[in-house]
A and B are shown apart, each in its own frame.
Chain A
Amino acid sequence: MKRWIAVGAALTLGLAACSDPSAAPETSTAEVTWPAPDTKLDGVKLTIWAAQNSNTVPKAVVDGFQKATGATVEVVTVPDPYEQSVQTKVATGDKPDLAFWQPTASMLTAINARTNLQPLTGAPWLPSLDPALRDITGLLDQTRYAALVTSPAVEGVYYNREVFAANGITATPKNFDEMVKLARDLKAKGVTPFYEMGADRWATQWWVQVQLADAAKAGLWDRVNSGQEKFTDKTILDTIKTYQQLIKDGLFNADIKTAKFEDQGTALLDGKAAMVVQVNSFFGQLQAKADTATLDSKVGFFPISPSGNVGTFIPDQSNALVAFKTGDAKREAAARQLLAYWMGPGYQSFVTDRNTVSLQTAVPSPAGVPKALLDVHASLPTSVGSMQALAVANPDLYINLADMIAGTMTPEQVAVATQDQFVQLAKAAGYLK
């Protein structure tokens, strides 16, 4: 019998000793050292986690880094939904050395940056970055945790130049109201003005967010973060109502409830719709469907907000990397070294390989970057942070909006559900007591 009691006691103790497996002591922001990018790393093996749409991004950098240092770098694709999968893995104690990650405050909070990530304080590449983009994102409570490698996404309007020209539109709209007026004119001429993807859901939130750009500039998300303002208050609720009204007015595609991301790209390219409110990954889809010359002649971009042409930036997972605290000092230093290589000697070949806009003043963008992407990048310095960039939590606004499009929720219910979830997430993250 005594033996059984002993066994029981041991198990009880074991139970008490169990805690969050991802928990590690929160380190102080002590001096971060940055090894020279070409320091030899023979025998060191690094792992980078990437999503299905970002796993080819590091290819040129990894090849160059392996050659320069002798390290082995493995890029592991984590299945979609990427953010959920990564959070689940990290929660159960599984960590890579580096990972693609949305560099916004809400998503850095969601991965528990203070505990899990290496601070990138004093990163050697910062002075060479375009000053307008240096501190645009990647920071949580003044500590840098993410390295921005490509131009962050901007919410704005992609339009079909041929449809505009065929309907006598020579200039892009100067503000949101002008855009709506233009849409009504197009509808009167039998053109579908906007195309939305109700079935794939996630783009629905851009419509609310671009309408909030000016409010965001005036500190809307700070007030939401501190509980002074809610999704249910007039500012945000009105934008949801406007979105629903525009749909009711027939300014969107008739199959808005069942349309998918893929359909949205096809519709804009084929001129079945004149405009799409989207982010950079939408343009990525267009690039898979058409070559640069076709895109330059067919597709244009303009940012939009109620007061003018203010973009709303929303860096996503493919734009940035974070370095994890793995507990292995050698590998942690090697991970920082890889970032320094990426943003240092490897940057030119990286932007050339990816045919993407350069973030560094000294490194020119490759000649083949599509015009629309240059326009998106040009809108960054004056653009304002999205909900994801500025709010401390990222509620499923898009799911609720998609439900509204499907007809199962009213704008008021969308606002209530989003607010409730925001509070829940913010509380869990230690905000909004």
Chain B
Amino acid sequence: MTILQNGAPGSITRRTHPLWFLLPAYGLLLVFFFLPTVFNFVYAFTDWSGFKAAINPVGFENFEQLVSDGTLFRSLRITIVYAVLVALFQNVFGFGLAVLLERDTAVNRIARTFFLIPVLMSALAVGYIFQALLKGTELLAHTTWTVVVVALIHAWKWMGLSMLIYLAGLKTIPLDVIEAASIDGASRRTAFWRIRVPLLAPAVTFNVATALLGSMNGFDIVQATTGGGPARTTEILNIFIYRTFGQGLFAQATTMSLVLFLLVALMAFPVIYVLRKREEVL
């Protein structure tokens, strides 16, 4: 926010516009971002449901019930496994593609475009296409491995974006650093692993964080591919929330989405902190 203390050294003293000009912007922020989040907290402590008109506070009852019921923990576990797998696959594929397609040849340019197409596709379309492709195979019917298959599909859809960001990272590495390394006698392999990869740290931070936290909030691809099956082994939390909301248990569904929100926040801070730490050595 703009600092308006008069006379403080280095501060902006010239008022070009009155402060209340900010009100519309903050008003929008409040109504469309702050209030929904507040309601997410408030409704979690009520008995809001599709069955009756009144909404009464119930304290921590929804939380107690969720904790006593094993379904929440199972869904949370599946969600985390899914998110970690997606983050892993998406970054490995994206990184591999970026390195493969780094040089600006005509073929590479065309190939990059093709790998970016899935990013632009509707997630539901991707899900339904793969569901049709894999129909009848064991791949979508195995109670252990289907979650991996769905994570691969998710990674397949988004790997183009990771590729783009890694490419941008690779392009920004100054050529003289690489030249200096080769003059110092570093092989291409050493230069790649010891110089170029560490210099990609900011790209890694962005890619890992968005893939991990984005897939924690995943829904569309899983819903379209498996709908949570087989035997609910791919029922990530958002599918569970969707099911609960659909039963008219709005407060319980809100409570779950609050739990998901807190979990994402809890995971985001350490993950981003650790990845940022890696950037500090630069």
Contact = CB atoms under 8 A, between A and B. Distances in A.
Interface size class of A (residues with CB under 8 A): 35 or more
Interface in A1-22: 3, 7, 11, 15, 18-20, 22
Contacts of B20: 3
Chain A CB within 10 Å, residue with most, of B35, B52, B250: B52
Given A199-B141, A257-B141, A430-B51, A425 B230 contact: no
B52 A111 contact: no
Contacts of B250: 91
A432 interface: no
Contacts of A402: 229, 231
Interface residues of B, number: 37
A293 to B, nearest CB: 32
Contact of A408 (B35, B42, B141, B143): B143
Contact of B232 (A24, A83, A403): A403
A11 B30 contact: yes
Nearest to A90: B50
B282 to A, nearest CB: 42
Contact of A258 (B141, B243, B249, B252): B141
Contact of A428 (B38, B47, B143): B47
A91 B231 CA distance: 29
Contacts of A91: 50, 248, 250
Given A87-B248, A402-B231, A115 B52 contact: yes
A248 B228 CA distance: 25
Chain A CB within 10 Å, residue with most, of B48, B229, B242, B245: B229
A344 B11 CA distance: 80
B233 interface: yes
Contacts of A81: 246
A403 B231 contact: yes
Interface of A: 3, 7, 11, 15, 18-20, 22-26, 81, 83-85, 87-88, 90-91, 109-112, 115, 199, 201, 257-258, 396, 399, 402-403, 406-409, 417, 420, 424-425, 428-430
A408 B231 contact: yes
A114 B250 CA distance: 18
Nearest to B247: A425
B49 interface: yes
Contacts of B69: 420
Interface string B223-242: 00000011111000000001
Nearest to A428: B49
B48 A20 contact: yes
Chain A CB within 10 Å, residue with most, of B47, B51, B141: B51
A110 B141 contact: no
B39 interface: yes
B28 interface: no
Given A110-B50, A399-B232, A428-B47, A18 B246 contact: no
Given A15-B35, A258-B141, A20 B246 contact: no
Contact of B245 (A23, A24, A88, A115): A88
B54 interface: yes
B268 interface: no
Contacts of B35: 11, 15
A23 B232 contact: no
A112 B53 contact: yes
A408 B50 contact: no
Given A18-B39, A199-B230, A402-B231, A23 B51 contact: no
A115 B246 contact: no
A258 B231 CA distance: 11
Contact of A112 (B51, B65, B247, B252): B51
Given A403-B231, A407-B143, A109 B51 contact: yes
A405 B37 CA distance: 40
B249 A424 contact: yes
B58 to A, nearest CB: 10
Contact of B233 (A20, A408, A430): A408
| Across the A-B interface, the 10 shortest Cβ-Cβ residue pairs | A84-B246, A406-B231, A23-B53, A429-B51, A428-B49, A408-B231, A403-B231, A258-B141, A115-B53, A110-B248
B12 interface: no
B111 interface: no
8 contacts: A11-B35, A83-B246, A88-B246, A110-B248, A199-B230, A257-B230, A396-B243, A403-B232
B55 interface: yes
Nearest to B49: A428
Contacts of B42: 15
B263 to A, nearest CB: 22
A321 to B, nearest CB: 19
Interface in B8-66: 20, 23, 30, 35, 38-39, 42, 47-55, 65
A24 B249 CA distance: 18
A24 B54 CA distance: 10
B206 to A, nearest CB: 34
Nearest to B249: A428
A345 to B, nearest CB: 35
Given A90-B50, A402-B229, 18 more contacts: A7-B23, A15-B38, A19-B55, A20-B54, A26-B53, A84-B245, A87-B246, A112-B50, A115-B52, A258-B230, A399-B232, A408-B231, A417-B71, A425-B247, A428-B49, A428-B251, A429-B49, A430-B51
